[in-house]
Structure 1
Amino acid sequence: MKHRYLLLILAEDEGCQEHIQLIATLTQLPLVWRHGRIILFSDQLPDVLLLPPGNGVIIGKLFRRHGYPEQVCELKSDDAARFAPDPVQCLIEHYWGSYVAAISNSNRVTILRDPSGGMPCYYLSSSGIAALTSDISLLIDTGLLTPSVNWNGVGRTLYWHQLPPEETAISGVSQLLSGCSLIIEGSEINRTESWRPWNYVAYDGDDDRKKRSEGLRRVVQASISAWGSCFPRSLVGLSGGLDSSIVTACLARSSAKVTCLTLATDDPVGDERSYARYASQAIDAELIEDFYSEDDIDLDKSVAAGFPIPSGKAHEQTYNKRVRAAAATSQAAAFFVGAGGDNVFYLTHSVRPLIDRLRTEGWSLDLVSTARDICRITGANIWEVVAEAVRISPKTTGLQWNGAEDYLSREFVESERCLPPEHPWLNSHDTVPLGKKGHVAMILRALHHIEHRDKALAVPMISPLLSQPVIEFCLGVPSWWACEGGIDRAVARRAFADVLPAPVSGRSGKGSPDGFVARFIARHRAAISERLLEGNLAHHGLLDRAAVERVMAPNAKFELLDCPRLMALLDTEAWTNSWSTR
């Protein structure tokens, strides 16, 4: 069962007992902890952990940084000395997990969301009460929120594509970003960074590849074993690609009983079953094979329904439906995915690794090796690689985030272009290597992707490759190591070469349902065109009607790259309807 919590920070210590009881009745959540003006309602008592001094609480799953890889179920008296000086930094440095922590200190309350963003945290302030929750329906049930669509927030989510937003698309509701804290004093609320990726990107000069690969394997295995200890039976989404196969192999080495699920389309690019069979047979696990189906896609529904951020794509409905069925059939207690592996292992097709190596080591013949590695991965020739390195090297200073203008109205794009993208991780020093800036940008995209989870899935979805120890370790790997030998995610491939079947560890291509999506769009042009051109996005001036009319015209050709964007627009349209009709 997924964790639902409601955390209230009152203006004063004294709260009306009848009002508290009413909230428990309206939300159907028990009151599980109270300290001063902090009140916590939660449906998962085993995942509520009290801090040793008694002035704080951790909501979610917590693991120790060192020691046996299992969930921390109790913080004992010998932990108290560690927490005493600075509980927030203690959590960051000595623990990890999927949690939100609330800590009271005199008149100040600090709320920390863990760096991996595994536990959702949305909040608002109303009538002297700060309310934080994993599910904003709880804010609605208690009368703290009357939902209305923030149309500027909708547009910004589409324009600043895949950038986790602090401002959500529901008016008055904000998101506490990963690794950030809220400081609440009286009626004043301020946000601060408690964890920054830039603290982990420095190269220590140790060029022992074998040692680094072995270290990565230990960190990944320990993190997945810790997660596996929480669930007796697990379902794994297994494409047969590198990332999901690593998760599957490591999970099988923990105490969890594993069942695998792979989904295929009816075209070769979307059919990865042969690779999934290799990976599942290597651990002697059952493999459920299923297929994407157009019949599962309802254009009236959004996969992000119930979330305050429209971040889904309409075709994900068929994936979600098949996962739910497989989870029920296998009696799984959790659904594990390899999401974020490309990002954390730094699958790059850029020349940034070449620039990083030049700036770190200076001129040497090793630069030629890295340039050739990039040529093998990208298919470019050596002169094209060098020319691109020269082009971007002097210009790229901060962490860049380009707006996605496709199918958005010119008026909205022009109004948004003059505003900077907003996220604390975008503020990096110019001395940070370009490859590491790209690496952090990819991790941000992964965190945004996992933010919307299928609310109809009865079990939690776990993305173990985005665990804090894995992120921190990978950020410290030099960017040019990731493409060494002309293969992507080279360090991860070396780390698990003797664990994965050779066809899987040596696989360079990736499957995709894009062909399935393209056929769906082609077959439903009229319905898609009507929904977009006559819908809320167009009515509120966010959509480029002419661009949509062109691509949706009978027999018009569109590129596969257009498919994800069109399905995102469709899902966003359905998302706006789901809130507008409440």
Structure 2
Amino acid sequence: MFRYLALAWNVDATQQCAAAQLLIDRLTARPKPWGRIEQSKGLCVLHRNFRQGSLDVQALPDQRGVLIGASFERLNDVTDDSAAPRFRPTVQQSEQIIASRGRWLVEHTWGNYVALLRDPAANRTWVLKDPTGSLPCFVTSFHGVQVIFGDIATLVSTQLFKFTINERYLRDRVLHGGVLDQRALDEVQTIYRGECVELGGTAQPRVFHWQPLHFVETSTAIEDPAFAARAMRATVRSCTRTLCSDHESILHRLSGGLDSSIIAACLADAPTPPRLTCYTYFTPGGRSDERPWARLAASRHRLQHQEHSVTADQIPLPKVMSLPPLVEPTASLGYLLRSSLEHQIAREHRATAVFCGDGGDSGFCGDTFAYAASEYLHRHGLRPHAFRLAARVAGLTEESTWTVMMKSLRRWRRGAGMEHQRRTVMSVSTLVDEALRASYADVSSFPHPWLAHLQTVPWSLVRRLGTLLATPEFYNVASGIDPPEVLAPLYSQPAMELFLRIPVDVHFQDGRERGLARQAFAHDVPAEIIRRHWKDRAPGIADRLVERHRGLLRELLLDGVLVEAQLLNRKAVEEALSERVSKSAIHPGELLRHLDVEVWARSWRSCALDARRRATA
């Protein structure tokens, strides 16, 4: 699996030079060697890649830094569906990147990368995280050496670092999970998507070279539905073609929904298509079944298609205890599905990438159509079309047109706060200690640096950004597994920027959820899927998993870190996991969410105990 670790230090500081050399020696002495790029004035990048794929490392000319990951040139025309070429920086481009402190890179390229940028003349170094990619970026220090990394397990394996849990993060993560603008580990700083940070410099205001608020401004809006649909289709095709060009064999998660069917069509139509295998999970005897829809999408383009059953018996929940150290908790159920099932399919097909339709619900505004009238009001004021939009929203939300219109007017004139979020959090945090629940009443801003400065919360934008607000989950796989890359073209930077420029009410074309996307890909996706306005899911997995492993959950949660710290209400957890409680009274989603945090906290406690044992040995 692709891994990287970069070191930046002051070559005039003897202690830092020694510390950097110690780290390099520990890593390069391993059985599986690391590649190395070294530059003058104290910059060294180590990298490993044991599977062919798109991620690589390349130096900028004249020792001006290193690009880690994958970067592609930007196409100037949003209606061009060609694959974008790899970005190979010239001397002049390298100078522009440094002169702009990375902004040039964000504006002229895209991909999944971390950039280490160096100004040799001024002896300054910056780290830049691309706006939408899944490769994470964190910074810590070791005796003055700045350590930039993606996989913290690599640092733990050196036995040179000590990491401690941020108690405030732990408390807030237990309460509502999701997005938190604070360190999970006291010693580790997260570099957010689109953020550029100077290494070793004095404290400075945060600099974001990519800010999603800029793309929803009225001045850049694309309001012509015909042009928007043409640009959407071309951009999604271009991004998909670009991302698959580095792979000879790929898998595609084909659920039969609109989003994954769109990606399947784009993959099938690539100029030089890779070996492509689609696969669909299903639950035998489930109340719904995605297979008929997935078969339609696969047969439309004559794609190889496999169907795999998934039951609670096949998901080895105890294996979550063997998760590698992670900077933040990961979703156990997704981890187990990938490690136990998806990676096996990938090995059978020698696939180096897994494509998916992730990002469609948010990007195509499937989660946001209820804001169509208020977004129109924001741009055009009170006009008759706003009432027509409200009536169409009402038809899908089972509310009256008057109710939708009044909500839209309030959002337009007054904005929105955290009140709805607080009610939602309370409804899904029934096992959390009451005092901790009460503390959430003071939260007034959305906890992400893109949005935290706003006096009101732009909930439509929050929903449109989807998982881009969360820390990338790239290394949440079992130790020793060499997994394929997971690629989501709908989350690529060109696609996201275009989706954001298209207003919600334009996405809501013809009063249909994801209406513009349905129009754009009407000739690529089976008509039955285009017309379909509901989703079948594989229900009951979480419920059955909790039921099957009730004893393990009782042991882990009742005797765990979260109950001990009085973050969870012990009595409520006991009742939820009691043998006497009916299935309808169990909270499977919340229980698994707390399990994720419990396992993560235990892993760091275990690391701390191991460090103390070594210190006293």
TM-score by length of 2: 0.85
Match of 1:113 in 2: 129
Within the alignment, does 1:29 sit opposite 2:48 as a pair? Answer: no
Deviates more, 1:29-38 or 1:395-404: 395-404
Please tell me whether the aligned partners of residues 65 and 95 of structure 1 are also in contact (alpha carbons under 8 angstroms). yes
Structure 1's 523 and 301: CA in aligned 2 closer, same or farther, altered over 3 A?
A: closer
| Equivalent-residue separation in structure 2 for 1:205 and 1:96 (angstroms) | 21
User: In the alignment, which residue of structure 2 is the partner of 1:484?
Assistant: 509
Distance, in Å, in 2 between the alignment partners of 1:480 and 1:11 is: 53
Equivalent of residue 590 in structure 2, options 565, 579, 582: 565
**Residue 181 of structure 1 corresponds to which residue in structure 2?**
196
Measure, in 2, the Cα distance between the counterparts of 1:568 and 1:84.
42
Matches within 5 A, 1:293-308: 293-302=311-320, 305-308=324-327
The alpha-carbon distance between structure 1 residues 171 and 437, as it changes in their structure 2 partners (threshold 3 A), is closer
Question: Paired residue for 2:433?
Answer: 409
User: Which residue identity is paired with 1:202?
Assistant: E
Cα gap change, 1:320/1:386 in structure 2, threshold over 3 Å: closer, same or farther? farther
Checking the alignment, whether the CA contact within 8 Å between 2:4 and 2:45 is kept in structure 1 is yes
Quick one: structure 1 residues 558 and 378, their matched pair in 2 at CA, closer, same or farther if it must change by over 3 Å? farther
Q: How big is the shift at 1:471?
A: 0.8
Is 1:346 equivalent to 2:362 in the alignment? no
Q: CA deviation at 1:226?
A: 0.7
CA contact (8 A) 2:175 2:436 kept: no
CA-to-partner distance for each residue in 1:86-113, whole Å, 9 max, x for gaps?
2511111100000000111223211000
Instruction: Report the equivalent of 2:170.
Output: 154
Q: Distance in 1 between matches of 2:573 and 2:385?
A: 48
Give the TM-score normalised by structure 1. 0.90
Residue in 1 aligned with 2:301?
283
Change (3 A) 1:489 1:32: same
- Per the alignment, residue 356 of structure 2 pairs with 337
Structure 2 residue 115 is the aligned partner of structure 1 residue 101? yes
Aligned match of 2:104: 90
Unaligned regions of 5+ residues in structure 1, if any?
Answer: none
**Match of 1:54?**
63
Counterpart CA distance in 2 for 1:491 and 1:108 is: 46
Partner Cα distance (1:195, 1:65) in 2: 15
Alpha-carbon distance in 1 for matches of 2:500, 2:586: 29
Q: What is the CA–CA distance in structure 1 between the aligned matches of 2:391 and 2:502, rounded to whole Å?
A: 20
**Contact kept in structure 1, 2:374 and 2:411, CA below 8 Å:** no
3-state SS, counterpart of residue 435 of structure 1? helix
Q: Distance in 1 between matches of 2:95 and 2:590?
A: 51
The answer to whether structure 1 residue 321 and structure 2 residue 340 are counterparts is yes
Specify the alignment match of 1:196 in structure 2: 211
Give the Cα separation in 1 of the matches to 2:63 and 2:555: 57
> For residue 143 of structure 2, what is the aligned residue in structure 1?
127
Q: Counterparts of 1:366 and 1:487 in 2: how far apart (Å)?
A: 16
SS in 1 for 2:117: strand
Identify if the C-alpha distance between structure 1 residues 316 and 517 changes in structure 2 by more than 3 Å, giving closer, same or farther. Answer: farther
> Partners of 1:348 and 1:437 in 2: how far apart?
10
Name the CA distance, whole Å, in 2 between partners of 1:374 and 1:382: 8
Q: Partner letter of residue 581 of structure 2? A: A
Query: What residue in structure 2 maps to residue 549 of structure 1?
Result: 574
For the residues of structure 1 that align with 2:130 and 2:606, how far apart are their CA atoms? 34
The residue aligned with 2:331 is 312
1:47 CA displacement: 1.1
CA distance in 1, matches of 2:417, 2:193: 20
Aligned-pair distance for 1:284? 1.5
Q: Distance in 2 between matches of 1:538 and 1:346?
A: 39
- Cα RMSD of the aligned pairs, angstroms, is 3.0
How far residue 282 of structure 1 moved from its aligned partner, in angstroms, is 1.6
Q: Distance in 1 between matches of 2:576 and 2:472?
A: 26
Tell me, what secondary structure is at the counterpart of 1:556?
coil
Distance (whole Å) between structure 2 residues aligned to residue 400 and residue 55 of structure 1: 48
Indicate conservation of the 8 Å contact 2:4/2:47, yes or no. Answer: yes
1-side partners of 2:584 and 2:141: how far apart? Answer: 44
Aligned residue number for residue 222 of structure 1: 238
Report how far residue 79 of structure 1 moved: 3.4
Q: Distance in 1 between matches of 2:458 and 2:299?
A: 41
Worse overlay, 463-472 or 429-438: 429-438
Match of 1:63 in 2: 72
Show CA shifts across 1:13-70 (max 9, x none): 6734853334422584232233321110011497112223431110000100027524
Aligned to 2:523: 498
Asked if residue 439 in structure 1 is aligned to residue 448 in structure 2, the reply is no
Distance, in Å, in 1 between the alignment partners of 2:583 and 2:312 is 19
Q: Distance in 2 between matches of 1:451 and 1:400?
A: 32
Alignment match, 2:47: 42
Cα distance, 1:350–1:176 mapped onto 2, change above 3 Å: same
Is the 8 Å Cα contact of residues 165 and 601 (structure 2) preserved in structure 1?
A: yes
Give, in angstroms, the shift of residue 287 of structure 1.
1.1
| In 1, Cα distance between equivalents of 2:161 and 2:414 | 45
Select between 568-577 and 188-197 the one with higher mean Cα deviation. 188-197
Among 71, 74, 84, which residue is 2:88 paired with?
Answer: 74
Provide Cα deviations, 1:305-326, integer angstroms capped at 9, x if missing partner.
Answer: 4321113133651354210111
Any conservation in 2 of the 1:292–1:319 contact (CA below 8 Å)? no
Deviations 1:270-297, CA, capped at 9 Å, x for gaps: 5211111111112221112111122333
Q: For 2:207 and 2:553, how far apart are their aligned partners in 1?
A: 42
What whole-Å deviation, never above 9, does each CA across 1:194-213 have from its counterpart, x for those lacking one? Answer: 21001111234653211101
Check whether the contact 1:293–1:318 (CA below 8 A) recurs between aligned residues. Answer: no
Name the SS of the counterpart of 2:567 in structure 1: coil
State whether residues 71 and 230 of structure 1, in contact with CA within 8 Å, keep that contact through their aligned partners in structure 2.
Answer: no
Alignment CA distance shift 1:282-1:146 (3 Å): same
Q: Percent identity?
A: 26
- Report if the CA contact (8 A) 1:238-1:248 is conserved: yes
Aligned residue pairs, count: 578
* C-alpha distance 468-460 of structure 1, shift in aligned 2 (>3 A): same
CA distance in structure 1 between the partners assigned to 2:94 and 2:43 by the alignment: 20
Q: Which of 265, 280, 294 is 1:262 aligned to?
A: 280
- Correspondence list, 1:383-462, <5 A: 383-389=402-408, 392-397=411-416, 402=421, 404-405=425-426, 406=429, 407-415=431-439, 417-418=441-442, 422-427=447-452, 435-440=460-465, 442-445=466-469, 447-448=470-471, 450=473, 453-455=476-478, 456=481, 458-462=483-487
Are 2:250 and 1:234 aligned? yes
CA, structure 1 residues 80+400, in 2 after alignment: closer, same or farther (shift >3 Å)?
farther
Matches within 5 A, 1:140-151: 140-151=156-167
Contact 1:124 1:131 in 2 (8 A): yes
Whether contact under 8 Å (2:57, 2:67) holds in the other structure is yes
Describe the shift of the 1:267–1:387 C-alpha distance in structure 2 as closer, same or farther (beyond 3 A).
farther
Q: Which moved more, 1:174-183 or 1:516-525?
A: 516-525
1:212 aligns with 2:225: no
Cα distance in 2 for partners of 1:229, 1:183 equals 34
Deviations 1:113-145, CA, capped at 9 Å, x for gaps:
000132111221231111111110121233442
CA distance in 1, matches of 2:86, 2:213: 28
Could you tell me how far apart the structure 2 residues matched to 1:338 and 1:247 are? Answer: 6
Superposed CA deviations along residues 339-384 of structure 1, whole A, max 9, x for unmatched, are 2221122223664221121232223331222112212322223233
Task: Give the letter for the 2:2 counterpart.
Answer: H
Say yes or no: does 1:355 pair with 2:378.
no
The residue aligned with 2:11 is 12
* Secondary structure of 1:240 counterpart: coil
Deviation at 1:80, TM superposition (A): 4.3
